[in-house]
Every structure is written in C-alpha cells, then in structure tokens.
Amino acid sequence: MARHNKRIHNGKDRHTGRKLPKRSKHDETVKTRSVGTGRGFIPIKPQPRPTTVRCNCSGEDKDKVNERLFTELEKIVPPATWNELTGTWERKVLVIPRFFARKHKAHMHHFRTFARERMGAHLGQKPHTRR
C-alpha cells in the first residue's frame, strides 16, 4: 500500500532529495483596523452614548411636551378593546411601550403622572391613590 505523503516537506523534495530555496518575506503591512502610522495598534471603538439627563422644562413647556407625547402615545397604543361578553369598550391599563419610554426618557418623570391622570379622566375613573 502506498503512502500518501506530500512531495515537499521541511524544505526538501522527497523524490529528488534537493533542498528548495526559502521563500522571500513579503512586506509586512499594518492591520486594516489600526489607525495611524502602524507603530501602535489603536482599535476603532464605537462612540459612547451620550448620557441622558432629565429635561428642564418650565410650566408651559412641560404642558406642551406632555400633550405632544400623549397624542403620539395614542397613535401607538389602541384606546380600548371591545369586550364581546359585555358589549362595551374597555381599557384595562395604560401601557407605555418600552421603545416609547426609551425614546422620550428625559420627559418620562413628568409624563407618566400626566398620562395616568389623563387616562383616568378618559375612562371616568379616579386616579389611583395608595392608602
């Protein structure tokens, strides 16, 4: 049975026994992700996210922002669901989607209370109070 060895191994041709010339070294290039002259590697990093700070809305600005956010939220969340058993429209809870809360994070501290009060008025319910 014949062995299946490569013809050239360790710089020698197995059939003839001759040494083969060494390969010439190619020019070393700088890695593609590095920045600068190639003396030091500086990886490319994503930009850090800006820190979110609470808004500094005054009285009238706060009211305008709350109204704008509420109309935007009403377009996203359906106002109520139809209950087949009772034959009425029902709204169980106001749910603010996560993407909406993330998008308007700076205003959430004053918008949540506004939305609760507004939804209570729409449904004819009293705002929730703790004992």
pLDDT confidence of residue 56: 85
Has residue 126 got a pLDDT over 90?
A: no
Domain extent at residue 94: 81-125
Residue 25 lies in a domain: no
Residue 89 lies in a domain: yes
Residue 98 lies in a domain: yes
Residue 40 lies in a domain: no
Measure the CA angle with vertex 38, ends 36 and 42; round to 5°. 60
Number of residues that make up the chain: 131
User: Nearest to residue 100, comparing CAs of 53, 59, 129, 68?
Assistant: 68
At 51-88, the pLDDT tens digits run 667 888 888 999 999 999 999 988 887 767 788 888 88
**Please, are residues 12 and 24 in contact by the beta-carbon 8 Å criterion?**
no
Residue 65 lies in a domain: no
Structural domain count of the chain: 1
Higher per-residue pLDDT: 43 or 128: 43
Residue 99 lies in a domain: yes
Quickly count helices (H) and strands (E) in the chain.
3, 4
At 1-33, the pLDDT tens digits run 677 888 888 889 999 999 988 877 776 665 565
Residue 30 lies in a domain: no
Residue 114 lies in a domain: yes
Q: pTM score > 0.85 for this model?
A: no
